[in-house]
């Protein structure tokens, strides 16, 4: 059988979503020179239950030592491998307005596994400008295989109206992983992954809970007067 459970078994989505958090915390521990952690300690640092952490990690394989815990460096490496961060993922950003600029300058990219290789925008005022040492190009060049390095992940930071058209072009260029910051639902063929990050959705969810708290604490006016 395969030596690597991460490739053999199916890792639940809920687990995959937590792995980056584990990895971040482990990296910090490694920097601090901590050699090993128990599931209890790591779980507390991340804000989950220790049982959940152990079950999550069990999907990757068996990297803990009973009675001791997990070796920080080893576990960080295994999570990196499971997430695919041992290879380099070339990223392109489309839409270089305020958000696109902020994303390109964001330090989170360079740190591990991701590398920005291209910036696109059709606004003539932006084309040619250099951000983090990369020139902004018109989107049409995306299709030119000779002009553009291979791209694994496309980031959409355009206004909502343009998002679907940009998405279609990215998919047409063979990109099958898309991170969408535009407040729009994208339709893509099967096999293409889209993840959406939306500021106003998050704010609205916060508003819902804030309202609930306000109603519960203070004036539950209409609710109590049967």
Partner DNA sequence: TCAACTTTGTGCATGGCTTCACAAACGTCT
Partner DNA sequence: AGACGTTTGTGAAGCCATGCACAAAGTTGA
Footprint on this chain of DNA (rule: CB under 7 A) = 12-15, 37-40, 48-52, 54-55, 57-58, 62-70
Question: From its own copies, DNA, none, which one binds at residue 87 (CB under 5 to 8 Å depending on kind)?
Answer: its own copies
In the bound complex, what is the minimum distance in angstroms from residue 56's beta carbon to DNA?
Answer: 7
Task: Give SS3 for 134.
Answer: strand
Task: Give SS3 for 103.
Answer: helix
Question: From DNA, its own copies, none, which one binds at residue 101 (CB under 5 to 8 Å depending on kind)?
Answer: its own copies
How many other CB atoms are there within 10 angstroms of residue 146's CB atom? 5
Residue 79's Cα: distance from chain center in Å?
15
Under the rule (CB under 8 A), what is the footprint of its own copies?
1-4, 7-8, 11, 16-17, 19-21, 23-25, 45-47, 82-85, 87, 89, 91, 97-99, 101-103, 105-106, 108-109, 111, 113-114, 152-153, 176-179, 183, 185, 187, 191, 193, 195, 197-211, 213, 215, 222-223, 226
- C-alpha distance across the termini of the chain, in Å: 65
In the bound complex, what is the minimum distance in angstroms from residue 201's beta carbon to DNA?
Answer: 15
From residue 87, alpha-carbon distances to 55, 70, 150, 152, 173 in Å are 26, 24, 14, 11, 21
Minimum CB distance to DNA smaller for 50 or for 176: 50
Does 1 count as an annotated binding residue?
A: no
Residue 71, judged by CB atoms within 10 A of its CB (0-12, 13-18, 19+), counts as: middle
In the bound complex, what is the minimum distance in angstroms from residue 131's beta carbon to DNA?
Answer: 37
Residue 165's Cα: distance from chain center in Å?
22
In the bound complex, what is the minimum distance in angstroms from residue 100's beta carbon to DNA?
Answer: 31
Minimum CB distance to its own copies smaller for 18 or for 137: 18
Q: Which residue has the tokens 């521990």?
A: 29
Does 221 count as an annotated binding residue?
A: no
Minimum CB distance to its own copies smaller for 20 or for 128: 20
Q: CB within 8 A of 175, min separation 6: which ones? A: 92, 151, 152, 153, 154, 192
Residue numbers belonging to the annotated binding site for NAD(+): 95-100
């Amino acid at each position: 059988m395969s030596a690597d459970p991460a490739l053999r078994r199916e890792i639940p989505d809920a687990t995959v979503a937590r792995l980056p958090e584990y990895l971040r915390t482990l990296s910090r521990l490694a920097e601090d020179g901590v050699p090993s952690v128990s599931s209890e300690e790591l779980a507390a640092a991340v804000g989950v239950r220790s049982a959940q952490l152990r079950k999550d990690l069990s999907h990757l394989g068996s990297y803990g030592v009973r009675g001791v815990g997990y070796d920080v460096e080893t576990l960080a490496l295994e999570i990196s491998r499971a997430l695919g961060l041992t290879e380099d993922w070339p990223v392109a950003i489309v839409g270089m307005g305020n958000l696109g600029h902020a994303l390109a300058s964001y330090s989170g990219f360079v740190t591990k596994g991701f590398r920005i290789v291209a910036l696109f925008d059709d606004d003539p005022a932006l084309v040619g400008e250099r951000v983090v040492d990369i020139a902004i190009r018109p989107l049409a060049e995306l299709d030119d295989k000779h002009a553009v390095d291979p791209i694994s992940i496309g980031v959409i930071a355009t206004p909502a109206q343009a998002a679907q058209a940009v998405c279609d072009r990215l998919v047409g260029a063979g990109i099958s992983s898309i991170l969408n910051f535009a407040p729009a639902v994208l339709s893509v063929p099967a096999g293409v992954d889209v993840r959406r990050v939306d500021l106003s959705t998050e704010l609205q969810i916060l508003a819902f809970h804030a309202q609930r708290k306000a109603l519960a604490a203070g004036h539950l006016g209409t609710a109590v007067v049967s």
